[in-house]
Amino acid sequence: MTPRKLLTIVVLIAVLGFGYYSMNAAPVLSDHDYTYQGGIEWHEDPDEAIAVAEEQDKPVLVYYWTTWCTYCQEYSDNHYQNEEIRGELDEYVLLAINLDEPGPGASLASEHEAAYPPQHVIMTADGEEVSRLGGYVEEDRFLEELRSGADSA
Amino acid sequence: MIPNTLTPGTLLIAIAAFASSLAAILLLYGYVYRTDELRPVTLVAASTSTLSLVVAHTYLTYQFVVGDYTNAYVWQNSADYLALLYRLTGPYANHEGSILLWATLTAVVATWTVYSSRFEGRGANLAQSISLGIVAAFATMLVAQSPFTPIEVAFPDTPAGFVPPDGDGLNPLLVDPWMAIHPPITFSAYALLIVPFALGVTHFVSLFRGEDSVFDEWLGSMRQWLRVSWLLLTAAIVFGGIWAYGVLGWGGFWSWDPVETAVLIPWLALTGSLHAINRYGKTGEYPIFAPASATLVFPIVTFATTVVRSGVFRSVHSFAAGGIGTGILFLLGVTGTTAIALPFTYWFLEAEEGSRDADEPWLSRRTVYHGAVLAFGVLAFVSIWGLSFPVIRNAATGVEVSVGQDHYNLWSYPVVVVGLLAGGMYALLDLRRRKLAIGATAAVAVSTLIAAFIAPSANWYLSDPAAHDPLVYRIVGSVSVLSIVPPAAYFAGSWIWRYVDRIRGVPSRTFKIRETGIVLTHVGAAMLIVAVSFIYLFSTSASVAVVGIDDAGTDPEPIVEESPDGEYEVHVRNYETVEEPTIEEAARSPEEVLAVDEDASLVRGEITAIDSIDGTAIARLEDSSVWLAGADDSLFEEGDEVIARGTVFEGETAATDAQAFVYTDADNMGPVSDPPRDVHTPRVTSHELDVTVYEGGERVAEGTLAEQEYLHSQMNTNDAVIERGIAGDTYVVGSIDERSASITIDTYPLANQIWFGVVLMIVGMTAVTLADSRRDQ
């Protein structure tokens, strides 16, 4: 056994350990039913979200995001942590669609022409679009959009 | 294949696919049966393949330059208003064209190896066969998904014979001069890597067959291939970084976007491989690892491309596509398996057990060097794994996890620190200063640990971990960034010392150039690492909202606003909008109106005759067969030069020789001096604003901010004002519309040390490459 072989083996074991550890330590963004953007539960299936919206008579907030979008990270870290915004979000049924893997949300994404993240679309429970917010906006502007959307929907 | 998809361009690619496959098979035959009698045919086949691809690429570029929108790819990625530069770069704006560029460059390199006298002997046939086989794989995927697909095939709803009057436009983010050189450089680097791959595979096959390896013979030239490739790849990453810095939304130079991460992996692998090969060339160590690592770089590049292009991984560049996505996955599978399986099998079955010299201490130069090489491998793995495990975990469990910057930053950081310590220690061991090396490394390691606890403010911590974050993130995240300084300084210092010691008294100029190159590369790397560690932690950001900017256009006095904390004062002047194309540029000549197929046209010309048909006034333009028409008979005046927009009708009356009428009215027409601007929608509207930023009464930045709105895209681009300084950059960018602007002032400390470090590395590597090529001669 040369020192180099020993070193290689130690590093290999460390790398395997790193791989296992980091994979399990990564924060969960979504499981089979929900997406967790900013720690809030969002629906993934538009049909499901619309059904809930009809039942509760609420508008739907559709959020188009991706894992690599830095502005989405901003939304998660700041906007969705803001108490006022959180309060306003309660007025909505939340639907988040990952643009890279839209799954059942694919047709809605193309209907909304959501080509890049982040995008927020407010729609009524019948699927009628109320307003659209492309890209990144400051928190107060976002709040304003949510308020006026909830009022008009 | 449906016959009408077989355009001349696709045919060229098909010829290349056939010719390169033929050449690969002939070369393989020549290798197996030890014959050179088919060489003339092989040479013809190889050059036919390259020539076809070069012509195909030139032809595609030509289609972009003239705006041939019958080709769907051209229509999707170009438009009339774009400047010539962006028509020349249009071919690699998207998927098919960039693979064509890669294939073409690969073919040039592969054919060069066939013709070059440097590669001779039995193994050469196999190496050349592998190179051309890769060209064949590229060409085949391009036949399946051609950049020459006619528009009516790509969009079956298109009426037969329809030619779009204008293109859909180029992705706004790519309308940037840096993007014009970034792809060719990247793909040149990638193309060069097929040679080390082919040589490496040949090396192991020869070993298995008990033949002489070609590796030793070609070592010198292989090392040069890898170095040139390294230089190009480094330049490509830097140009990409400069572009990302200028284009808002990507978070500065680097945000661990999958594309950025993906290109870093081959760079790390290449750097590690160069270290192993240098060692092999000098001492014969790494007899398996050196060729194996060189072999592996090409599959890693393919992996990077898979990440960027196949849609398996998530990224802004991904296009879930048919032929090319599958083709690249295939290429990755085959080359990756070969590059891993061959060396490993050889290692398990054939390799002789190396033994330690009796007098070799445990902490020897070799071991420390090996530690540094391993560090490159581990760094590459951190990035590979960060890209891969979300996909693996998602496929296995359906659970989606996020991989943030913390994953990459916090896992890589300790490896970089250890790598720097090992590198510094190696340089001292190389000076035969064993005791000093061990003592100094221990001392630096201790000061690194102490520095890890010194954090004058919260900015100094590597991250801001939350209580629920995993333990490792909480530990590494609460380390002070000051801890990078001792190992980096030690690393740079000991390499400089080694340099001074080595060149002392040596007369050879080549040797001196080579050593200077080596020291510059290492010092540049240390500088880069320190600057990169600090820049994001100490960047600051402040925003200012400015309203009423439309009044600023005429007012000589600037609008003055302060940032909320009073740190900056922003003066705003001269708001204006610039349209591209302007109505004058967009208006077609009468000939162009006849040539394109559109319902409504914007036309420009001098009225050369006036007439009327059934109460409709008509006016001839430029003595052509295009006439304007309008209900109001006082609308037209002979001799006026006008711009008019209107519905186009085919000419039907016998009274005039008109081929087309443009039916317009007073609102849609005007003289060239005062054209009807409202009827024209520009492709790009740029909102421009002059700003001056003061900090504590001192001017810190001045220039013109701009935000571009694109007609067919929801994405805007921004031109920032960057004021560079030794301590860092002041970066001003604004989101601007007709009424207001939201101006952000960011500071990036040590930004220019990043560029400086990279320049040192590039200069250093160039010096080493030149010195070695001089020595070889």
User: Is residue B236 a contact partner of residue B263, using CB atoms and an 8 Å limit?
Assistant: yes
C-beta atoms of A73 and B366 within 8 A: no
**B583-642 pLDDT per residue, tens:** 988 899 898 888 888 888 899 999 998 888 888 888 889 888 888 888 887 888 888 899
Closest by CA to A29, choosing from B477, B397, B261, B384, is B397
* Strand spans (E) along B125-234: none
Residue A6: closest C-alpha in chain B: B367
Put simply, the chain B residues between 313 and 332 with a CB less than 8 A from any chain A CB are 314-316, 318
Q: What residue segments make up the domains of chain B, in order of their start?
A: 361-494, 505-539+750-776, 540-578+683-748, 583-671
Residues facing A28 on adjacent strands? B401
pLDDT for the residue B653:
63
**Domain for residue A114, yes or no?**
yes
C-alpha distance from residue B79 to each of B8, B75, B432, B681 (Å) = 22, 7, 64, 14
Q: Which of B315, B411, B543 sits opposite A22 (nearest CB)?
A: B411
Parallel, antiparallel or unpaired: strands B684-695 and B669-671: unpaired
**Domain for residue A27, yes or no?**
no
Residue B364: closest C-alpha in chain A: A3
Q: Which residue has the tokens 């701009």?
A: B706
Radius of gyration of chain A (CA): 20
pLDDT for the residue B316:
39
pLDDT for the residue B530:
95
pLDDT for the residue B656:
65
Residues facing A111 on adjacent strands? none
- Exposed/middle/buried for residue B581 (C-beta within 10 Å: 0-12, 13-18, 19+): middle
pLDDT of B393 over the 70 cut:
yes
Q: Which domain holds residue A134?
A: 32-149
Q: Which residue has the tokens 């643009």?
A: A99
- For B622, the token pair is 């430029």
Q: Which residues of chain A have pLDDT under 50?
A: none
Q: Which residues of chain A are within 8 Å of residue B377 when distances are taken between CB atoms? A: 11
Residues ≥6 apart with Cβ < 8 Å to B460: B454, B480, B481, B482, B537
Q: Which residue has the tokens 């801001």?
A: B464
At residue B581 the predicted structure's pLDDT band, cuts being 50, 70 and 90, is: confident
Bond into B581 cis (ω within 30)? yes
C-beta atoms of B356 and A3 within 8 A: yes
C-beta atoms of B470 and A21 within 8 A: yes
User: Is residue B764 a contact partner of residue B519, using CB atoms and an 8 Å limit?
Assistant: yes
Question: How close B366 comes to chain A (CA, Å)?
Answer: 8
Q: Which residues of chain A are within 8 Å of residue B714 when distances are taken between CB atoms? A: 113, 115-116, 134-135
pLDDT for the residue B382:
94
Closest by CA to B681, choosing from B575, B597, B598, B583, is B583
Closest by CA to A46, choosing from A110, A90, A118, is A110
Backbone angles phi, psi at A127, to 5 degrees: 90, 10
Q: Which residues of chain A are within 8 Å of residue B392 when distances are taken between CB atoms? A: 23
C-beta atoms of B381 and A15 within 8 A: yes
Mutation target among B401, B471, B544, B712 for the A interface, most CBs of A within 10 A: B401
Alpha-carbon span A100 to B579, nearest angstrom: 33
- Which range is least confidently modeled, B106-115, B397-406, B768-777? B397-406
**Domain for residue A134, yes or no?**
yes
- Residue B382's CB: how many other CB atoms inside 10 A? 25
User: Is residue B96 a contact partner of residue B72, using CB atoms and an 8 Å limit?
Assistant: no
Q: Which residues of chain B are within 8 Å of residue A138 when distances are taken between CB atoms? A: 543, 742
Q: How many CB pairs below 8 Å do chains A and B form together? A: 112
Q: Which residues of chain A are within 8 Å of residue B389 when distances are taken between CB atoms? A: 19, 22-23, 26
Q: What is the CATH number of the domain that holds A81?
A: 3.40.30.10
C-beta atoms of A115 and B714 within 8 A: yes
pLDDT for the residue A33:
67
C-beta atoms of B258 and A68 within 8 A: yes
C-beta atoms of B400 and A3 within 8 A: no
Residue B713: closest C-alpha in chain A: A115
Please state the rounded mean pLDDT for residues B292-319. Answer: 72
Alpha-carbon span B390 to B403, nearest angstrom: 7
* pLDDT, chain B, mean: 87
Closest by CA to B278, choosing from B518, B520, B511, B529, is B518
Q: Which residues of chain A are within 8 Å of residue B469 when distances are taken between CB atoms? A: 25
pLDDT of B3 over the 60 cut:
no
Radius of gyration of chain B (CA): 31
C-beta atoms of A18 and B385 within 8 A: yes
Please state the rounded mean pLDDT for residues B458-467. Answer: 84
Question: How close B287 comes to chain A (CA, Å)?
Answer: 14
Which is more confidently placed, B147 or B121?
A: B147
At residue B314 the predicted structure's pLDDT band, cuts being 50, 70 and 90, is: very low
Longest Cα pair distance anywhere in chain A, in angstroms? 75
pLDDT of B317 over the 50 cut:
no
User: Is residue B734 a contact partner of residue B744, using CB atoms and an 8 Å limit?
Assistant: yes
**Domain for residue A22, yes or no?**
no
Residues ≥6 apart with Cβ < 8 Å to A45: A103, A104, A105
pLDDT for the residue B34:
86
- Interface ipTM: 0.76
Which is more confidently placed, B743 or B213?
A: B743
Q: Which of B255, B316, B385 sits opposite A22 (nearest CB)?
A: B385
- For B456, the token pair is 């004058």
Most confident region among B32-41, B148-157, B550-559, B698-707 by mean pLDDT: B698-707
pLDDT of B1 over the 60 cut:
no
The amino acid at B294: A
- What is the tally of structural domains in chain A? 1
Write the DSSP assignment of B578-597 as a string of letters.
EEES-HHHHPBPHHHHHHS-
Category of B356 on φ-ψ map: left (φ > 0), alpha (ψ -120 to 50) or beta:
beta
Q: Taking the model in full, what pTM does it have?
A: 0.84
Q: Which residues of chain B are within 8 Å of residue A7 when distances are taken between CB atoms? A: 367, 370-371, 374
Alpha-carbon span A51 to B285, nearest angstrom: 67
At residue B357 the predicted structure's pLDDT band, cuts being 50, 70 and 90, is: low
Q: Which of A23, A32, A70 sits opposite B255 (nearest CB)?
A: A70
